[in-house]
Amino acid sequence: MAQARPGAQGAPTQPPQDAEAANDPTALARQFTELAQRSSQLVARFFERTARDPAGIAQDDLGLARAFGEALTRLWGDPVRLAQAQMNLWQDYMQLWQSTWLRAMGLQAAPVATPTQGDKRFKDELWENNLLFDYLKQSYLIAARHTHGAMAGVEGLDEATRRKVEFFTRQYIDALAPTNFALTNPEVLRETLSSGGRNLLDGLDNLLDDLERGDGSQLRISMTDRTQFRLGENIAVTPGKVVFQNELMQLLQYAPATDKVLRRPLVIVPPWINKYYILDLREKNSFIRWAVSQGHTVFVLSWVNPDATLADRGFDDYMRLGPLAALDAVREITGEPDANLIGYCLGGTLLACTLAWLQARGEAGRVASATFFTTMLDFSEPGELGVFIDEAQVEALERRMARRGYLEGHEMAATFNMMRANDLIWSFVVNNYLLGRAPFPFDLLYWNSDSTRMPACMHGFYLRNMYLRNALREPGGVSLDGVPIDVGEVRTPSYFLSTMEDHIAPWQSTYAGALLFSGPVRFTLAGSGHIAGVVNPPAANKYQHWTAEGELPADPQQWLAGATQQPGSWWPHWHAWVSEGYGGGEVAARTPGSAAHPPLEDAPGSYVKAVAEPSVAEAK
């Protein structure tokens, strides 16, 4: 589902040492010897793994050779355009030389290139105050701008190839930033001099830890101090019970916080790409705890972290054993014939499919209202994620999943991280490996790193029918459990929440999905991105949201032009919509479970604690 932006970095791995200890040749030699031994062991393990599984050697599944081959052929085939691009690049460099000489002589000179707003890579003051580092910074920014412009401007490419070239050109540019190298990063140089090079040895130690966590064949960059979090202790701590479970999910019901609650229960269907507790991180930012405090009887599905035994479970299995099974259990526990449902991202796509399935069977009344967080139903414009989804890539992915029975969680996480490489990859490379520091303990990044697997059958169905065929928007384009479904027939009152800076589910695409329904639809747009825009408690007083009354126009920009901007969180706006329109009045507070469904264990349950990768200690 989603990736998170990093928080503050720079927590030291160990307490600062004095200069004498940092430069102790005996201690440094001992550490270097230990690191050399670990490195040799990792190399040996890598070759053993490669010999056992030669198919695991990296292939060009992304089709980059073909895409860049075609782009470069067309670029070289237009000598006039290429010459103009080279001339523009030369002119910028000449201006940089001139401004640098002026500054060297003590004169004022305007910069030729400056970092974009929000670019945190060049925050060290030496990037601006030191002549050499300022020249290095501007030289990189000039080259980056012209390289990206030349490759993104190649004419004659089909849209899919153009997007692929543009995206991976940006990855190449970001990787070559001077901040990513020890000799060209002033902060790293300063740390190296002050510690006698201890930071580089500590960084190598961190690098080996991450390689070992990837079994020696893959680098899994640590984004947070994983030892600082314990599910049910300092994260995912809202009181509740597991009241039902099957092979795909556990159903959690939370203890009431008010004497009276809304009659209709609230059921949350999270995505199974990540774990549900993004909505229950800590007390101060838990949507689940907040909803409970507003008088909702909250249930949430906690999906299993699947292994090869669930390889044949499909999308319709997730519907039957997920929201449909949850609705049955909630009705038996509360005695209510219907419920309000929330679906987040992929969970929202499943929720829409469930609504259409219920509509086709004449059972739409089981859901009183539906809320969709950053959910795509029309996949015609999938955003940057579309770079990774075409026929060739899906076929390659299906071959890999067929060997194991599932998609590894870290493989999908790596894809999401590439979309924000400077924030989610290179900042940690600098912090962990060059500065030799441990990543800061940050709850959101802990959740982001707690990846889950995808069953082969389900994931193949989802990619082909949603992304490749975009079949969900077509009447009868998708069949689930033997029933052709049509989301256009859904009349359930719905609330769509999207976010302005969402790079996983672009808000214009989620808006197009909202237009598919036949029932009343309320659309709300929040500030920030896929995670921060959703997990935005009112007490934080952050960001803003846009709302509008009446029918949705066909053009999302027309909707935005007529919408009213409100400060702060969208949570109260949604609660007013669901409680006043579909709450059903009040009843006495409900304790978790019932005679038919006695509590099985405390929240957060056992399913959420299953990990998709070994810890560093286990890898060692």
Q: How many residues does the chain have?
A: 620
| Amino acid residing at 143 | A
Q: How many CB atoms lie within 10 A of CB 110?
A: 8
The answer, yes or no, to whether the previous bond of 599 is cis (omega within 30 of 0) is no
| Dist. CA 287–CA 535, nearest whole Å | 7
Identify whether the C-beta of residue 413 lies closer than 8 Å to the C-beta of residue 449.
yes
Residue with tokens 């390659």: 396
Q: What angle do CA 572, 575, 576 make, to 5 degrees?
A: 85
Structure tokens at 565: 């901007």
DSSP string for residues in 407-460:
E-HHHHHHHHHHTTHIIIIIHHIIIIIIS--BPP--HHHHHHHS---EEHHHHH
CB contact at 8 A, 357 and 448: no
End-to-end distance of the chain based on CA atoms, in angstroms? 30
Among the listed residues 345, 355, 429, 444, the single catalytic one is: 345
Q: How far apart are the C-alpha atoms of 113 and 109, rounded to whole Å?
A: 12
Residues 6+ apart with CB under 8 A from 303: 248, 249, 270, 272, 275, 276, 322, 452, 607
Return the H-helix or E-strand segment holding 42: helix 25-52
Q: Helix (H) and strand (E) counts for the chain?
A: 23, 17
Q: How far is it, in rounded angstroms, from Cα 455 to Cα 312?
A: 7
Q: In sequence order, what are the residues at sequence separation of 6 or more whose Cβ sits closer than 8 angstroms to the Cβ of residue 530? A: 1, 2, 3, 345, 374, 499, 502, 503, 504, 505
Reading the block at residue 410, the tokens are 């870290």
Task: Specify the amino acid at residue 148.
Answer: H
Distance between CA atoms of residues 35 and 297, nearest Å: 53
Going across the sheet that includes 544-547, the strands are: 564-567, 544-547, 521-526, 494-499, 367-373, 339-344, 266-269, 298-303, 249-254, 240-245, 601-602
Q: Is 589 helix (H, G, I), strand (E, B) or coil?
A: coil
Active site residue 345: yes
Query: Hey, what amino acid is at 172?
Result: Y
The CA-based angle 523-524-529, given to 5 degrees, is 125
The dihedral built from the CA positions of residue 460, 466, 468 and 471, taken in this order, carries a sign that is positive
Residues 555 and 548: their CA atoms lie apart, in Å, by 14
Q: Residue 542 and residue 563: Cα distance in Å, rounded?
A: 19
Q: Taking Cα atoms as reference points, which of 451, 510, 479, 473 lies closest to residue 315?
A: 479
> Which residues, 6+ apart, have CB-to-CB distance to 333 below 8 Å?
243, 253, 590, 593, 594, 596, 597
- Catalytically active residues are 345
